Chain A
Amino acid sequence: MSILKVNHVKKIYTTRFGKQRVNALEDVTFSVEKGEYVAIMGESGSGKTTLLNILAALDKATSGQVLLNGMDLSTIREKEIAAFRRENLGFVFQDFNLLDTFSLQDNIFLPLVLAGVKYDEMQKRLFPIARKLEIGNILSKYPYEVSGGQKQRTAVARALITNPKLILADEPTGALDSRSSDQLLGLFSDINAEGQTILMVTHSTKAASHAGRVLFIKDGQVYHQIYRGNLTNEELYQKISDTLTMIATGGGRYE
């Protein structure tokens, strides 16, 4: 069953005075099955972030449809959208988006607190996640006291703690060194292996090579996609790399 369906989504930005129109997304169609790990690749300006914002219900498509678990995002009322986001989606951002005013633990609790979950329940949920992400001993620290890798793992914990249907990750390794990146990507693979659906936007070949399927976006359209099949990470890396070269040099579509 598809957990996410994107049907002919189009997004046009108009400048403030309506003179100029920019087509950020031309016509995007794809779907994500439950338990999948999908990476979306594309160069800067290809519309990746716009797409992610639409999927996250932070932005609205000009036309087309986004169905999350069979529910059309555009039909959700403005009032309920925050709660919807909280209950169904988990976010991991490039710049972590942790709040300096909260300790790591409170950062992880934030969506639960907003949802009105009891403290004991929050504690119960936190324990296994913190152990898995190896942040159990720094929970009382503040974001400005820990490393980038630790911050990103905290952000992952915050995304996981609500048991979301889908995790949206926007360049999660973008601000991390290679060791922390590897660790984080390993974590994503583990989480995915446990059944968590992940959709990741990245332009790092390395990051994408951990996914089960890679979509390529160019000029606002899904240009190409690769399935992992039985490939190892290294082989997938090679294939992605070839595809990127081909896209960059302007070769035709092949399958």
Chain B
Amino acid sequence: MNKGFFWKLARENMKKNRKDYVPYMLTCVGTIAMFYIIYALTFSKSMDTLPEASTIRTLLFYGVIIVGLFAVIFLFYTNSFLIKRRKKEFGLYNILGMEKKHIAKMMFFETVYIAFVSFAGGIIFGIFLSKLVLLLLLRIMDFHVVFGIEINIHGILVSACMFGVIFLFIYANAVRQIHLSNPVELLKGGQVGEKEPKTKWITGILGFLFVGIGYYIANTVESPVEAMFKFFISVLFVIVGTYFVFSAGSILLLKFLKKNKKFYYKPNHFTMVSGMIYRMKQNAVGLANICILSTMVLVMVSTTVSMNVGIEDIIHTRYPASLSIEVKNVSREEADKLSKTVDNILTDSHLEKKTEISYRSYSLTTVVKDGRIKNFNKLGDMTNLTGILLLEIGDYNRICGDDLKLNKGQIGVFALRGEKLDGVISYEDKSWKIVKQISKVPVAGEYAAFMGDVYIFVMNQEDAMEFAAKYYEGTDVNTEGMEYYKGITLVNDTKETEKQVSAQVSAYLREHGLAGSVEGREENRETFSQFYGGFLFLGLFLGAIFIMATVLIIYYKQISEGHDDKARFEIMKKVGMSEKEIRASIRSQTLMVFFIPLVCACIHVVAAFSMMKKILAVMNLNNAEMFVKGTVGTVFVFAAVYAVVYMATAREYYRIVK
């Protein structure tokens, strides 16, 4: 038998089984496209145009790993399904005189064929899809950041290697299965009902344990700096756990339902429960996939949407004033002089101040744990990173209109971000007793961008100087002068006036040899919008792609099961099940399949909520209410899309069964 023969045979086989092969290949195409898109996006050049490109790239790279993992599990699952359906055919070939090695050879050609077609399809579809989604989003949202995805040769190569290996393993697994069984078993293959799965306690417990660990990690992360990495770890735990919980937990649940005779022997439940147990193993993986993809979509879209809805909040957190002037290492006299100069500039330009705030401070980057401050410069440890803004009592009373008095060794504390501190705060041999919990200090917005907890300490002048001097001992930081901040909110605030004023102030600073900067809110607004717009774009882009993948999976799953169920429903019709009852049974079965993963996805999102909030805090969104609203909104929109897919699929399923 020559090669041409095998080619022909392989092609004919696939033509004959196109009912099974077309959805399988579509799944392969979808998975490959998804992997390629996220990979190409991660390493695309236009990514460089975004600020914080490296952070986003890291996040996306985690995405690449997850999608890759997902691809392996998913393709194995769909393929095992296919092999099962074709065992009868292989048995026939075997009986008709084909040796197993011939069958293996034939399957090799089939696999090569599928691999090539779906790879080519996947890449083309990937490029096309990314362009399409891109254009769509640009049209809808009017983005300033044009985010082109160029054809990424590197991405194509990596995808080729990755999926080449996956297909090879899939092939090896199929050959193994064929080799292990004899022709008669093969002939029966398609008909042998999957044995009712055993109740897998260990897997079930492990699953819940993993999900629990994932949730625990997600909810105990203290600083946002850790969050990124730990988020990834917890995602991995939750993914593996979800697969376990679905495969063992679903069986547990169904068996429990089956044991409940009153529930089980009802027309709808009867066919649904037994049908689901019958194919539970496949259902479990499919449902877990849907659950994980849904979670990804929800997390990505809700965070990015919240950031964009909350952009005004974010800008105001970051730039509390129209103009923010910051100068390092100045004495009180120098500060006063600068302040007067700025006021003069404003008067000369006929600009009216709405509000004004100014103070001098020390800012320290530290590590705070259990009320003890450690020196970050000596520790070099990023966990529990804490920023401290140290104010003198005089400045505090002035800007807050308070009348606080602090003796030596006393301190007032405000937690801008982080847990409330109580009792005594210490640094090396020094300690201060907290005598006042401050509820609000209108300080500079730059701190909002700090990647960690932020506290404001208020001390008397002597203590403050001592503490700062001690903290920076042995470094080149000069603690004789303090940092000076002056924030002005203007009545008529425009980009131009801000530019004009900041140019003059900058000139003054240069003239007097002061190290400092001037920031304007309106000046920075555009950069900010672009930055967050870019994020929103990424979120929606990946969200759209993942939704498409989810739809494809659900569709594939239902259709292939529809073909399986066709015979079953025919029998039930003969035994006396009406069209109406069949419809109702299909509806309840499809409903279960669809909404269990959605509910689990929502639980995952709730568990991830506090971590997402921490990451968002780094991005300057502190408005928790806004984030809750954004998330709930996203869930509703997603559920609506999901419901539409559900209805379309149920109809198609019914059409097949009928």
Cα-based distance from A241 to B252 in the complex (angstroms): 57
Q: Select one of A78, A114, A122 contacting B577, CB under 8 A.
A: A114
State which residues 53-101 of A face B: CB under 8 Å.
Answer: 56, 58, 78-79, 81-83, 85-87, 89, 91, 93, 97-101
- B: residues with CB less than 8 A from A are 191-193, 196, 261-262, 265-267, 270-271, 274-275, 277-278, 568, 571-581
Partner of A97, one of B271, B277, B574, B577: B574
Would you give 24 A-B contacts (Cβ < 8 Å), ordered by A? A56-B574, A82-B577, A82-B578, A83-B578, A86-B575, A87-B576, A89-B576, A91-B574, A97-B574, A98-B571, A99-B568, A101-B271, A101-B274, A101-B278, A101-B568, A106-B274, A110-B572, A111-B575, A113-B265, A113-B266, A113-B270, A114-B572, A119-B262, A144-B192
Chain A residues with CB under 8 Å of B576's CB are: 82-83, 85-87, 89, 111, 114-115
Q: List the B side residues contacting A85 at CB < 8 Å.
A: 576
Are A82 and B573 in touch, CB under 8 angstroms? yes
Contacts of A56 in B (CB 8 A): 574
Contact of A144 among B193, B265, B568, B580 (CB under 8 A): B193
Q: A40 to B196, alpha carbons, bound, how many Å?
A: 40
- 13 more contacts with CB within 8 A, not counting A83-B576, A158-B575, are A58-B574, A82-B573, A83-B578, A87-B576, A93-B574, A97-B575, A99-B568, A100-B193, A100-B568, A101-B193, A114-B581, A115-B576, A144-B193
Interface of B is mostly: helix
Nearest neighbor of A88 in chain B, beta-carbon distance:
B576
Q: How large is the interface on A (under 10, 10 to 19, 20 to 34, 35 or more residues)?
A: 20 to 34
**CA separation between A58 and B193, bound complex, in Å?**
27
**In whole angstroms, what is the CA distance A179 to B265 when docked?**
35
Please encode chain A, from 127 to 143, with 1 for each CB lying within 8 Å of some chain B CB and 0 for all others. Answer: 00000000000000011
Output the residue of B270, B274, B576, B577 with the most chain A CB within 10 A: B576
Is A109 an interface residue when CB atoms closer than 8 A count as contact? yes
Q: Contact: B278 with A100, CB < 8 Å? A: yes
Given the known interface contacts A113-B265, A144-B191, the answer about A106 and B270 at a Cβ–Cβ threshold of 8 Å is: yes
B261 touches A119 (CB 8 A): yes
* Residues from chain A with Cβ under 8 Å of B579 in the complex: 78, 82
A83 to B580, CA, bound (A): 11
A251 interfacial by beta-carbon distance below 8 Å? no
Q: Could you say which residues of chain A place their CB within 8 Å of the CB of B193?
A: 100-101, 142-144
Q: How far is the CB of B249 from chain A (nearest CB, A)?
A: 20
User: For residue A99, which residues in chain B have a CB less than 8 angstroms away from its CB?
Assistant: 274, 568, 571-572
Min C-beta distance of A159 to chain B, whole Å: 9
Q: What residues of B have a CB within 8 angstroms of the CB of A102 in the complex? A: 274
Nearest-neighbour CB distance to chain A for B361, whole angstroms, equals: 72
Does A18 count as interface, using CB distance less than 8 angstroms?
no
Q: How far is the CB of B270 from chain A (nearest CB, A)?
A: 5
Which chain A positions have C-beta within 8 A of B571? Answer: 97-99
Q: Let me know if A250 is at the binding interface, CB within 8 A.
A: no
A101 pairs with B581, CB closer than 8 A: no
Contact B568 A114 (CB under 8 A): no
- Does A252 belong to the interface (CB within 8 Å)? no
Instruction: Report A244 CB to chain B, min CB distance, Å.
Output: 29
The distance in angstroms between the C-alpha atoms of A111 and B271, with both chains bound, is 12
The interface centre, meaning the residue of A56, A98, A101, A115 with most chain B CB atoms within 10 A of its CB, is A101
In angstroms, Cα B277 to Cα A108, docked, is 19
Q: Which residues of B contact A82 (CB under 8 A)?
A: 573, 576-579, 581
* Closest CB in chain A relative to B183 CB, distance in Å: 18
- Asked if A229 CB lies within 8 Å of chain B CBs, one says no
* Chain A nearest CB, measured from B416 CB (Å): 60
Q: How far is the CA of A237 from the CA of B166 in the complex (A)?
A: 64
Contact status A110-B578, CB under 8 Å:
no
Q: Verify B278–A81 contact, CB threshold 8 A.
A: no
User: Please, how many angstroms separate the alpha-carbon atoms of A79 and B583 in the complex?
Assistant: 13
Q: Closest 7 interchain pairs by CB?
A: A86-B576, A82-B578, A100-B193, A101-B278, A101-B274, A97-B571, A85-B576
* Chain B hits for A106, CB < 8 A: 270, 274
Chain A nearest CB from B223 CB (Å) reads 52
Beyond A106-B270, A142-B193, is A101–B265 a contact (Cβ under 8 Å)? no
> Are A79 and B580 in contact, CB atoms less than 8 angstroms apart?
yes
Distance (Å) between the CB of A35 and the closest chain B CB?
A: 23
Q: Is A101 touching B277 in the complex (CB atoms < 8 A)?
A: yes
Bound-state Cα–Cα, A63 to B267, Å: 35
Closest to A116 in B: B267
- Measured in the bound complex, the distance between the Cα atoms of B448 and A155 in whole Å is 74
Residue of A whose beta carbon sits closest to that of B275:
A101
Smallest CB–CB gap between B563 and chain A, Å?
Answer: 15
Chain A hits for B573, CB < 8 A: 82
Q: A106-B270, A113-B267 are in contact. Are A79 and B578 (CB under 8 A)?
A: yes
- Bound complex: CA A116 to CA B262 (Å): 11
Closest Cβ of chain B: how far from A78's Cβ, in Å?
Answer: 8
Closest A residue by C-beta to B194? A100
Cα A102 to Cα B271 in complex, Å, equals 9
The residues of A that contact B277 with a CB separation of less than 8 Å are 101
Chain A residues within an 8 Å CB radius of B266: 113, 116
- Chain A 149-188, CB within 8 Å of chain B: the 1/0 string? 0000000001000000000000000000000000000000
Question: Which of chain B's residues have a CB closer than 8 A to the CB of A98?
Answer: 571
Give every chain A residue within 8 A of B275 (Cβ-Cβ).
101
| Contact (Cβ within 8 A) A100 B265 | no
Cα of A212 to Cα of B81 in the assembled complex, Å: 49
Residues of B within 8 A of A158 (CB): 575
CA distance A109 to B261 in the complex (A): 12
A109 to chain B, nearest CB (A): 7
Residue of B nearest to A123 (CB): B261
Distance, CA A158 to CA B576, complexed state (A): 11
Collect the chain B residues with CB atoms within 8 Å of residue A142's CB.
193, 196
Partner of A110, one of B261, B575, B580: B575
Q: Inside 8 A of B191's CB, which chain A residues have their CB?
A: 100, 144
Beta-carbon nearest neighbor of B277 in chain A: A101
Instruction: Please indicate the chain B residues that have their CB under 8 angstroms from the CB of A115 in the complex.
Output: 576
A37: shortest Cβ distance to chain B, in Å? Answer: 22
Q: Given the complex of chains A and B, what is the CA–CA distance between A78 and B573 in angstroms?
A: 13
Interface centre among A56, A87, A110, A111 (most CB of B within 10 A): A110
The interface residues of chain A lying within 8 Å CB-to-CB of B572 are: 99, 110, 114
Contacts of A91 in B (CB 8 A): 574-575
Q: Across the two chains, which residue of chain B brings its CB closest to A102? A: B274
Q: How far is the CA of A58 from the CA of B578 in the complex (A)?
A: 11
**Cα(A122)–Cα(B270), bound, Å:** 14
* Residue of A86, A89, A97 contacting most chain B CB atoms (<10 Å): A97
